Structure 1
Amino acid sequence: MKPKITPTSVEVHFAPDEIIVSKTDLKGRITYANRVFMRVADYAEDDLLGVQHNIVRHPDMPRGAFKHLWDTIQRGEEWFGFVKNMTSKGHYYWVFANVTPDLYQGEPLGYFSVRRQAPHSAIEAIVPIYAEMLRIEREAGPAKACEASLAWLSQTLDELGTTYENFVLDLFFGRHMGKGTRS
């Protein structure tokens, strides 16, 4: 069970050359966590192995973002995106994540995630998008939250003339500064 942690306003950073790596089984239970992950999230290996990866989920993250992730990786595709995570003390850290299926002889065994420190400009662009998705989710109610926020995100990206993947990659590489988003 995920521990009850109260979020703080303290941001945790890690070096640009550091990479957070984890692996999960098909249900999202952690099977591997590198030392950077353990240090940044402030968990011992024994506290992470075998538990759901959502142990680091921050409440500022819309459910729709994770539905998009799961839908993508369960189709066998890789997913890129920005994620606000929470440490064991309630502090937060932003990552740019790349999640891919971990395959053996063509069959998925689980998922492999590599995360880098998210650029400040990308965070500034994604925060209002996630805030709007959360607002839509609260308004829609639990049963329709994910679908409602994802529909808004899809419509917003269509209006910008881009795809989700291109949007987040452009943000990461500084090619797009989030202009044109709407609420």
Structure 2
Amino acid sequence: MLQALARGERQVASRKLSRTVTPTGRERLFRDDEVIVSKTDLKGRITYVNRVFLKISGFDEDELIGAPHSIIRHPEMPRSAFKLLWDSLAEGREVFAYINNLAKNGDNYWVFAHVTPSIDVNGKVLGYHSNRRVPDRQVLNDTIVPLYAALLAEENGQSDRKAGLDRSYRMLLGLLEERGVGYDEFIFSL
């Protein structure tokens, strides 16, 4: 019982940390042969992490299990990118995305994520599984970083969060429409 209470207190502390950590501007890198793995329940609470996730994020396993996956969300990630990700997952589709994460100490680490619904034998979605690899640096620098900066500026330029998300999301969809591709085609064309 005491262990469960202590674990719960650590999880609450972890959740608070994600809201108060200031980005350091330092980037953590991981090797091409490493894969960051995590699993969540339907509400996005972490149920599993591998050793690479722990090493790169700087968190202990007991700080992460039960915490929302957003504990590693970097404040420079546009919310519209996550809206697209969650909308796709809600439709039962897998998603590939470039994501900037925030380590426990405020360092960031970029990943190329493949997120899939985890389903049971009856096809019922139980949660989500994410594998993250080292992203292509040229794609990040030439396309993703400027795109995300523009989306984030659109979000932050609005008087309320909902309006900012709506404008940023429309901006993202407009870019895809201009190119005549869907999101998946855009990502795979990079």
| Aligned amino acid, residue 127 of structure 1 | V
How many angstroms apart in 1 are the aligned matches of 2:86 and 2:16?
A: 19
Q: Cα distance, 1:6 vs. partner?
A: 0.8
Counterpart in the other structure of 1:149: 168
Provide the secondary structure at the position in 1 that maps to 2:110.
strand
Aligned counterpart in structure 2 of residue 29 of structure 1, from 45, 53, 67: 45
Provide the secondary structure at the position in 2 that maps to 1:77.
coil
Provide the secondary structure at the position in 2 that maps to 1:143.
helix
* Aligned length, in residue pairs: 171
Q: Cα distance, 1:33 vs. partner?
A: 0.2
How many angstroms apart in 2 are the aligned matches of 1:113 and 1:100?
A: 6
Q: TM-score, normalised by structure 2?
A: 0.87
Q: Cα distance, 1:83 vs. partner?
A: 0.2
Residue correspondence of structure 1 range 1-183 to structure 2 within 5 A: 1-3=15-17, 4-104=20-120, 105-124=122-141, 125-140=143-158, 141-171=160-190
Q: Cα distance, 1:7 vs. partner?
A: 0.2
Q: Cα distance, 1:122 vs. partner?
A: 1.4
How many angstroms apart in 2 are the aligned matches of 1:168 and 1:121?
A: 13
Q: Cα distance, 1:162 vs. partner?
A: 1.9
Provide the secondary structure at the position in 2 that maps to 1:110.
strand
How many angstroms apart in 1 are the aligned matches of 2:109 and 2:147?
A: 17
Runs of 4+ in 1 over 2 A off after TM superposition: none
Q: Cα distance, 1:167 vs. partner?
A: 1.4
Which consecutive residues of structure 1, in runs of 5 or more, have no partner in the other structure? 172-183
| Aligned amino acid, residue 171 of structure 2 | W
Q: TM-score, normalised by structure 1?
A: 0.90
Query: What percentage of residue pairs aligned between the two structures are identical?
Result: 46
RMSD of aligned alpha carbons: 1.0
Which consecutive residues of structure 2, in runs of 5 or more, have no partner in the other structure? 1-14
